[in-house]
Amino acid sequence: MIDPQRNVAATLLAGALVLASGALISASAQSQAAREQMQKILSQPVEDYQSREQAAPRSIRERIAALRRKLEAEGATFRVGYTTALDLPLRQLAGTRVPARPNVAPAVNERAQRLLRIDRESAEKANIDLQQFLCRPDAASFDW
């Protein structure tokens, strides 16, 4: 059985992430109608995730099943369910789009490498161990 409290928390987190990502999307990236549609879908309350999933189209159920298999194989400590966010294409949900000038990537990467080198040199001079600040994919939980 799906834990309703965990699903509510997951839905709230997903909503917060959507709102945060929405704030980063320029007004020209999405039309007003698309934003209204997204808000309408995401604001729909879900009372019973199991029933929602059972009534979902086969493609959605298969997608969730595949995701669950992947998470189980990776040893994830959380569960996924059919939230309203899955009713939207990722492009609309996350605002993903190809940059207008893809040829700037090499210059951006070069600058990032210079800045990283400056950070590392500064940390070394100040005797700061940067390893303590690295993300750990094997961590049991996330901590800001």
Which position has the higher pLDDT, 104 or 141?
Answer: 104
Residues 19 and 83 in one domain: yes
In a domain, residue 143? The reply is no
User: Which tokens hold the place of 117?
Assistant: 């080198």
In a domain, residue 127? The reply is yes
Burial class (CB in 10 A: 0-12, 13-18, 19+), 60: middle
Q: How far apart are CA 46 and CA 49, in angstroms?
A: 6
In a domain, residue 20? The reply is yes
* pLDDT tens per residue across span 65-77: 999 999 999 999 8
Report long-range pairs for 49-58 (Cβ below 8 Å, ≥24 apart): 49/2, 49/4, 49/7, 49/81, 49/82, 49/83, 50/1, 50/2, 52/81, 52/82, 53/81, 53/82, 56/82
Residue 113 domain boundaries: 98-136
Nearest to 124 by CA among 116, 134, 114: 116
The confidence score (pLDDT) of residue 89 equals 82
User: Which tokens hold the place of 30?
Assistant: 């999405």
This prediction has a pTM of 0.44
Residues 83 and 52 in one domain: yes
Segment 20-47 shows an average pLDDT of 67
Residues 81 and 10 in one domain: yes
Residues 66 and 85 in one domain: yes
The confidence score (pLDDT) of residue 87 equals 84
Q: How many domains does the chain have?
A: 2
Residue with tokens 């303590």, as numbered in its chain:
132
Q: How far apart are CA 25 and CA 21, in angstroms?
A: 7
In a domain, residue 144? The reply is no
User: Which tokens hold the place of 1?
Assistant: 């059985």
User: Which tokens hold the place of 130?
Assistant: 């940067």
Confidence category of residue 1, pLDDT binned at 50, 70, 90: very low
Residues 65 and 123 in one domain: no
Residues 11 and 50 in one domain: yes
The confidence score (pLDDT) of residue 17 equals 47
Residues 20 and 76 in one domain: yes
The confidence score (pLDDT) of residue 6 equals 47
In a domain, residue 22? The reply is yes
Residues 61 and 31 in one domain: yes
